[in-house]
Structure 1
Amino acid sequence: MNDRVLPGLFGAAAALAARDLRLLWRRRGDALQPALFALLVIVLFALALGGDADILAGVAAGVLWVAVLLSGLLALDTLFRGDAEDGSLEQWMLAPVPLAWLVLVRTALHWATTALPLLLATPLLAELLQLPRAQLPALLAGLALGTPLLSLLGAVVAALTVGMRRSGILLALLALPLYVPVLVFGAGSVALAAQGQDPGGGLLMLAAGLALALVLAPAAAAAAIRITLN
């Protein structure tokens, strides 16, 4: 049975990924908006603080985390919106693979196209904000664990609001309380590293949250989609 199930799961994932990447290429201008928004936030913070290295170093980790969080929130409304409008979500429900699997694949693609470019650019952005290099490993580890967790939590909220028109403000209000603990543990781990303490506690909490979200969030989002469309 596994010989049939596994190829079916990976085949569906590959087909969905190929479709999403084609659509992303056609709308590559829109796809760049989250990264450009995050860059704009970081540059404005650097200008507003006057370029003072000591001040920038003290707030660099928090600014980077807030920029990444807000840019992900900006792209969250598009996670399932297009599929709901063109009827693709109904096809997902009729597909011979679990709906939660398709949700997980879509969320992974969303993370790869919105958060991953920022994660790769973090060393350069950290230099712009004068972040001490000793704190960079904690920042990168926190973002590597926290950004997929944000995408998974956001997928549940996006699924709950997919049937509503102009749900942007409601989406933000529902998502922000879920995002705050991730922000606290992520930025807090960098603060501990800045004080010469072990940042492992906050990183372990992010890792535990990510593991739990990988199990529960796709199923919760799939259930929300079924409720919304039925």
Structure 2
Amino acid sequence: MSAVDTRPGALQAAGALLQRDLRLAWRRRGDAIQPVLFALLVVMLFALAQGREPQALASVAGAVLWLAVLLSGQLAMERLFRDDAADGSLEQWLLAPLPLAWLCLVRVVGHWLVTCVPLLLLSPLLALMLHLPHDRIGLLLASLALGTPLLSLIGGVVAALTVSLGRAGILVALLSLPLYVPVLVFGAGALVAAGNGQDSSGALLMLAALLAAALVLAPLLTAAALRISLE
């Protein structure tokens, strides 16, 4: 009976934490829009530097879009747990009757909703700016929908490891970027394979497998990293 009673409590706590994070993001919407503007600027500058050759832009559009999304996500990664550590909320998380890994997963989901979903909505426009063929825009959205949650989960582990260091933006990027390499390879590789007339389903399946593994392992690693950082 106790196992049945804890499930609604976990869902209610997740909903309350997610609503709080979304409200804070709305109050700080200037900070929330920075990743979108950064990705837009990266694509615009690359298009200007590459020239006006549509074929040349289309051949590298997938890699450029993935790099823009990956780098823009770093802007908000440092703040994932920093404010909670500063006001003592993380200590309350440790004392809560809910698993710390569950709370970490909810926080990462909130980060993905605030940071990555706007990028997903903007990605078709960015793809058109780089002359990506229309028949590959759906593949781009599919790869980003599988890859961006994976980036947030991996970044959450790194942010938890460095939460006690205060402002560690550069360190977070240095630690997380090498871990993003497999996601970048499979995400951009799906578009490259489609451009070469090859089957891109293998890359999408690898992204899905990595995401399934990260959904299980990353919250546990994030919780362990927070406990280490707060000791």
- TM-score normalized by the length of structure 2: 0.97
Counterpart code for 2:179 = L
Match of 1:6?
Answer: 7
Within 2, Cα distance between the matches of 1:99 and 1:61? 37
Match of 2:93?
Answer: 92
Provide the aligned C-alpha RMSD in A.
1.0
Shift of 1:134: 2.0
Match of 1:112?
Answer: 113
Match of 2:148?
Answer: 147
SS at match of 2:163: coil
Q: Percent identity?
A: 65
Contact 2:153-2:214 within 8 A present in 1 as well: yes
Shift of 1:125: 1.3
Within 1, Cα distance between the matches of 2:116 and 2:158? 17
Within 2, Cα distance between the matches of 1:177 and 1:145? 19
Map 1:9-48 to 2 at 5 A: 9-48=10-49
Contact 2:82-2:166 within 8 A present in 1 as well: no
Per-residue CA shift, 1:186-219, capped at 9, x if unaligned? 1011111111111011111111100000000000
Within 2, Cα distance between the matches of 1:88 and 1:127? 43
Per-residue CA shift, 1:64-122, capped at 9, x if unaligned? 00000001112110111111111111111111111100100000010011011111121
Within 1, Cα distance between the matches of 2:82 and 2:167? 10
Within 2, Cα distance between the matches of 1:72 and 1:21? 17
Count of residues in correspondence between the two structures? 230
Within 1, Cα distance between the matches of 2:95 and 2:41? 42
Within 1, Cα distance between the matches of 2:145 and 2:219? 19
Per-residue CA shift, 1:7-65, capped at 9, x if unaligned? 11111111101211221121111111111111111111111112221111111111100
Q: Structure 1 stretches (4+) deviating beyond 6 angstroms?
A: none
SS at match of 1:225: helix
Match of 1:65?
Answer: 66
Counterpart code for 1:125 = L
SS at match of 2:159: helix
Within 1, Cα distance between the matches of 2:192 and 2:115? 25
SS at match of 1:79: helix
Q: Which runs of 5+ in 1 are unaligned?
A: none
Per-residue CA shift, 1:133-160, capped at 9, x if unaligned? 1222221111111000000000000000
Match of 1:221?
Answer: 222
Shift of 1:3: 2.9
Within 2, Cα distance between the matches of 1:21 and 1:73? 19
- TM-score normalized by the length of structure 1: 0.97
Mean Cα deviation higher: 107-116 or 44-53 = 44-53
Match of 1:195?
Answer: 196
Match of 1:133?
Answer: 134
SS at match of 1:80: helix
Mean Cα deviation higher: 77-86 or 17-26 = 17-26
